[in-house]
């Protein structure tokens, strides 16, 4: 018996069940848990056990790819990811492997006040990317509204091997979410790291499907994952406002009260690759 194969089936089953609950609820507000940033738009029919809202994001600078991260579609034209991934980039491309490979370049990039020159311990390492072309799904994940310390979660990530980064979607086994420490109040912790940044940490169980946070890195000593939390009302307001503005078009985004990070848009430079 191939135990690795059985584990992979289990991982897919856990997240598929969690996301199925979210889809069934329409990702609307629900007691004790979620607020829905995105509307439901029926376009892409994803097969059972897949993860259509999970995306890979490749960022590009003047010399080629500057970062390879994951992200989550929270509306047709907004992706939630990690801010440090976008730092120093001049363009980015998003691909949804489990949504028939739908893709788009990034139009604008909004960090949640994150700066590479400041102490990361006190910052929310979060970024919202608006797309030049919408990726429409049957449903989009909702954000966990209330604190979720100790709840059961899975992390979504793209695989890495031998210096190569795949354009794929993977899921960790189910695990408990540890509380924030006094030294890292903006960050939660998972016992299993992914070696990736930007992917969603998703609640399982009765309120499964809610996005609790965003993976921002692994601990060197513990090997576990650090997670930028989303239960701050100001963070939720930031997400809601940008999703709402993005739904109204470029003019509304320009008028939004949040500052966009300079980005030229577009994908890899000529000769570059989004999947290597």
- Give dist(CA 238, CA 232) in Å, integer: 10
| pLDDT at residue 28, as a whole number | 34
Instruction: Provide the pLDDT confidence category of residue 12 given band limits of 50, 70 and 90.
Output: very low
Bridge partners for 106 per DSSP: 131
CA 13 to the chain's CA centroid: 20
* pLDDT above 70 for 64: yes
| pLDDT at residue 34, as a whole number | 53
* pLDDT above 90 for 267: no
pLDDT cut 70: percent of the chain above it: 77
| pLDDT at residue 119, as a whole number | 82
Query: How many Cα atoms are found within 13 Å in the side-chain-facing hemisphere of 204?
Result: 19
Q: What number is the average pLDDT over the span 143-163? A: 92
Higher pLDDT, 133 or 222: 133
Q: Which of 80, 65, 72, 74 is nearest to 98 (CA)?
A: 72
Apex CA 132: angle with CA 168 and CA 258, to 5°?
A: 100
Q: What number is the average pLDDT over the span 116-143? A: 92
CB atoms within 10 A of CB 254: 10
pLDDT cut 90: percent of the chain above it: 55
* pLDDT above 70 for 126: yes
207-219 pLDDT, tens digit per residue, is 889 999 999 999 8
Lowest average pLDDT, out of 83-87, 227-231, 255-259, goes to 255-259
Domains in the chain: ranges and CATH: 35-140+232-255 (2.40.10.10), 142-229 (2.40.10.10)
- Give dist(CA 256, CA 103) in Å, integer: 25
| pLDDT at residue 18, as a whole number | 41
* pLDDT above 80 for 19: no
- Give dist(CA 40, CA 27) in Å, integer: 8
- Give dist(CA 239, CA 223) in Å, integer: 29
Q: What number is the average pLDDT over the span 130-136? A: 95
Most confident of 46-60, 94-108, 180-194: 94-108
Q: What number is the average pLDDT over the span 94-115? A: 93
| pLDDT at residue 209, as a whole number | 92
Q: What number is the average pLDDT over the span 138-142? A: 95
Lowest average pLDDT, out of 11-20, 55-64, 166-175, 188-197, goes to 11-20
Q: Which residues of 179-191 are buried (b: 16+ CB within 10 A; e: fewer)?
A: ebeeeeebbbbbe
Lowest average pLDDT, out of 32-36, 97-101, 186-190, goes to 32-36
Q: Transcribe the chain into DSSP letters.
A: --HHHHHHHHHHHHHHHHHHHHHHTTT---TTSEE--S-----B-PPTT--TTEEEEEEEETTEEEEEEEEEEEETTEEEE-HHHHTT-SEEEEEETTTTTEEEEEEEEEESS--TTS-GGGS---EEEEESS---BS--PPEE-S--TT-EEEEEE--EETTEE-S--EEPPPEEPBPPPSS-TTEEEESS--S-SS-EEEE-GGGTT-EEEEEEEE-TTT--EEEEE---HHHHHHHHHHHHHHHH-HHHHHHSSSPPBP----SSPTT--S--
Output the six-digit token pair for 217: 């890195």
Instruction: Provide the pLDDT confidence category of residue 255 given band limits of 50, 70 and 90.
Output: confident
* pLDDT above 90 for 31: no
- Give dist(CA 156, CA 215) in Å, integer: 8
Bridge partners for 207 per DSSP: none
Instruction: Provide the pLDDT confidence category of residue 88 given band limits of 50, 70 and 90.
Output: confident
Q: What number is the average pLDDT over the span 72-84? A: 97
Mean per-residue pLDDT over the chain, rounded:
80
Q: What number is the average pLDDT over the span 87-96? A: 93
């Amino acid at each position: 018996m191939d135990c690795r194969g059985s584990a992979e089936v289990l991982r897919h089953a856990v997240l598929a069940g969690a996301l199925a609950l979210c889809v069934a609820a329409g990702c609307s507000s629900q007691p004790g848990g979620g607020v829905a940033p995105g509307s439901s738009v029926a376009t892409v029919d994803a097969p059972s056990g897949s993860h259509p809202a999970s995306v890979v994001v490749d960022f590009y600078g003047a010399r080629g790819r500057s970062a390879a991260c994951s992200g989550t579609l929270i509306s047709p034209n907004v992706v939630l990811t990690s801010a440090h991934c976008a730092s120093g980039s001049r363009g980015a491309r998003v691909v949804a492997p489990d949504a028939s490979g739908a893709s788009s370049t990034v139009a604008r990039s909004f960090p949640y006040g994150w700066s590479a020159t400041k102490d990361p311990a006190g910052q929310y390492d979060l970024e919202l990317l608006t797309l030049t072309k919408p990726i429409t799904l049957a449903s989009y994940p909702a954000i966990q509204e209330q604190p979720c310390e100790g709840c059961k979660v899975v992390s979504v990530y793209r695989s890495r091997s031998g210096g190569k980064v795949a354009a794929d979607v993977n899921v960790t086994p189910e695990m408990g979410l540890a509380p924030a420490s006094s030294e890292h109040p903006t960050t939660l912790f998972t016992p299993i790291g992914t070696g990736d940044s930007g992917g969603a940490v998703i609640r399982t169980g009765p309120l499964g499907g809610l996005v609790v946070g965003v993976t921002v890195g692994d601990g060197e000593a513990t090997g576990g994952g650090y997670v930028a939390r989303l239960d701050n009302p100001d963070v939720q307001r930031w997400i809601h406002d940008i999703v709402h503005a993005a739904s109204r078009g470029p003019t509304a985004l320009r008028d939004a009260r949040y500052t966009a990070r300079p980005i030229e848009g577009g994908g890899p430079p000529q000769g570059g690759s989004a999947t290597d």
